[in-house]
Structure 1
Amino acid sequence: MLKIAIIIGSTRATRFADKPAEWLKNIVAGRTDASYEFVDLRDFPMPFFDEVASNAYAPTTNEVAVRWQQKIAEFDGYVFITAEYNHAPTAVLKNALDYAYPEWNKKPAAFVGYGSVGAARAIEQLRQIAVELQMAPTRTGVHIQGADFFGAWQQGAALEEMSHLQPGVNAMLDELTWWGNALKAARNA
């Protein structure tokens, strides 16, 4: 069975990321196509990348970063939950991506974004980064935007009640598991 990490890509004390994480937790609990584990970047407080080189070329010296690399190596695919700061993904998520290389290779990546435009620009950048890390980004992402985002953030609306988001979540997870199975078979061959 595929093992998928859902990576919470914000560490701010007042982050919104916990709401989509909880929403996804309820959705993936009903799926039988993979096992899903939530990985919180708060549990991996890495400094800004300061190694001699990528771990593709030189061993990492930071103990937390090594623990991060070992953790993400366990998975066959990833869902990244991301905010958008100034048209880009969070610095902590970009830093976490930079601290690993072979661990990401030949695995699929999917994205759930939130903010006024659903983190669309941040996700586009993450897709480019994923390609450079030899991941296969899925076509379908989930964008919690506009009234949905502001309703959940400021008025306490539940994402579970936003049924129009459900088809996108299902399509994203279906694509992720399809690519996960295909790439896992290819990696094992």
Structure 2
Amino acid sequence: MALLQVIVGSTRPGRIGLPVATWFARAAAEHGPFEVELVDIADFNLPLMDEPNHPRLRQYTQEHTKRWSETIDRGDAYVFVHPEYNYSFNAALKNAIDYLHAEWADKPVSFVSYGGVSAGLRATQALKQVVTTLRMVPIFEQVPIPLVGQFIDEEGEFVPNEIVAGSVGPVVRELARLNDALSPLRKRQ
């Protein structure tokens, strides 16, 4: 079974991204065609890029990079769960993406963005430029969450409305469809 990795893009203490990603991972697993893994970049403690070689060479020297590479390499599709900071995405996510190169290639990706009124959509647009450079294939379907704080309950859990919850199925189905199309490319490499 193909593996969908739901990547928590924020490392800030008290972040909303973890409950949002936890919700999305559970919901995605209910929609079928993937095994789903929650990947929290905070667990990897990635400093600002500290590898002496360019990531495309895959000559990693740091243990945190090797562990990050092994984790991401086993994924077949990705969903980045990310906030919007100052009209773009956050530095921790950019750093985590930049640590690797070939591990991302020829895999479909979608986004769960959150923020204020804009729902993090400007950050997603900026991220799409980055992921296409690494040969990931962003899909049209995504989950934008406006005014995200209204969906956090007293226990700190994310509880979406029907519109947000209803967007999970189309994302998972399109990721599965593109994974089927792209997986032969990954096997030839």
Normalization by structure 1: what TM-score? 0.91
Mapped to 1, the partners of 2:96 and 2:140 lie a distance apart of: 22
Give the conservation status (yes or no) of the 8 Å contact 2:152–2:158: no
1:79-98 correspondence runs (5 A): 79-98=79-98
One-letter amino acid of the structure 1 residue matched with residue 132 of structure 2: V
Residues 24-69 of structure 1: CA distance to partner in whole angstroms, max 9, x if unpaired? 1331231220101000111110110133342213612221011101
Mapped to 1, the partners of 2:160 and 2:152 lie a distance apart of: 14
Q: CA deviation at 1:160?
A: 3.8
Question: Is 1:55 paired with 2:41?
Answer: no
Cα gap change, 1:60 to 1:28, in 2 (>3 Å): same
One-letter amino acid of the structure 2 residue matched with residue 104 of structure 1: W
Structure 2 SS opposite 1:139: coil
Q: CA deviation at 1:141?
A: 1.1
Matching residue of 1:44: 44
Mapped to 2, the partners of 1:155 and 1:9 lie a distance apart of: 23
1:23-172 correspondence runs (5 A): 23-57=23-57, 59-116=59-116, 117-146=118-147, 149-153=148-152, 159-172=158-171
Greater alpha carbon shift after TM alignment, 45-54 vs 136-145: 45-54
Mapped to 2, the partners of 1:112 and 1:164 lie a distance apart of: 13
Give the conservation status (yes or no) of the 8 Å contact 1:151–1:157: no
Residues 109-134 of structure 1: CA distance to partner in whole angstroms, max 9, x if unpaired? 11000001111111111111010001
Task: Count the aligned residue pairs.
Answer: 187
Greater alpha carbon shift after TM alignment, 179-188 vs 38-47: 179-188
One-letter amino acid of the structure 2 residue matched with residue 139 of structure 1: F
Q: Which runs of 5+ in 1 are unaligned?
A: none
Structure 2 SS opposite 1:15: coil
Normalization by structure 2: what TM-score? 0.91
Greater alpha carbon shift after TM alignment, 176-185 vs 90-99: 176-185
Q: Which runs of 5+ in 2 are unaligned?
A: none
Cα gap change, 1:21 to 1:173, in 2 (>3 Å): same
Structure 1 SS opposite 2:35: strand
